[in-house]
Amino acid sequence: MKSIFYYLTAIVITISFSGCVDPSGTGQGKGAGGGIGPLIFLPLMILVFWLFFIRPQAKKSKESEKLCREPAKGDKVVTIAGIHGTINKINEDGTVNLETSPGSYIKIEKSAISMDWTTQLNKAGTVAKK
């Protein structure tokens, strides 16, 4: 994957600077503007922003939305305040009873659940095995 980005970057740089070179070799370049370089550079920058900023944020938002809509009893979660716990009971009024330590419960809103702690623990375990 690294080589594709390398070649793509080299092509974009070559095209963007090709408008500044005088092919006759008289030493007088075209000056600023002109050429196809700026026309290719702008859509490429939009694509890069979409790939690295917008798309990952949309994925994270979708995962968070799914977790808020469908929490299950026994899920280990982290709230937006940083409280770690296990879902003990899902109430009808849109709240959840969270067990923070054995015998200690707090009542929070479903929307306060930030991420699935179980998934984060599994990620750490797979990294440690390598």
Output the domain CATH number for residue 110.
2.30.30.140
pLDDT in tens, 71-108: 888 889 999 899 999 999 999 998 999 999 999 999 99
**Sheet strands (E) in 1-130:** 76-79, 84-90, 95-101, 104-109, 113-116
The pTM score is 0.49
Q: What does the mean pLDDT of the chain come to?
A: 77
Instruction: Measure the CA–CA gap between 51 and 33, rounded to whole angstroms.
Output: 28
| 84 is a domain residue | yes
Contact 84, 76 (CB under 8 A): yes
Torsion angles phi and psi, residue 120, rounded to 5:
-65, -40
Structure tokens at 30: 């075209």
Residue 13 belongs to domain spanning: 2-19+34-66
pLDDT digits (tens, 9 = 90+) for 2-27: 566 667 677 777 766 666 655 565 65
Residue 24 covered by a domain: no
Q: Is residue 25 part of a domain?
A: no
> What's the N-to-C CA distance of the chain in angstroms?
21
Share of the chain above pLDDT 90, in %: 22
pLDDT of residue 27: 55
- The predicted pLDDT at position 51 comes to 85
Residues 95 and 50 in one domain: no
Q: What gap in Å lies between CA 107 and CA 109, rounded to an integer?
A: 7
Q: In terms of domains, do 43 and 57 share one?
A: yes
In this structure, what token pair is assigned to residue 25? Answer: 């070799």
Which amino acid does the sequence have at 23? P
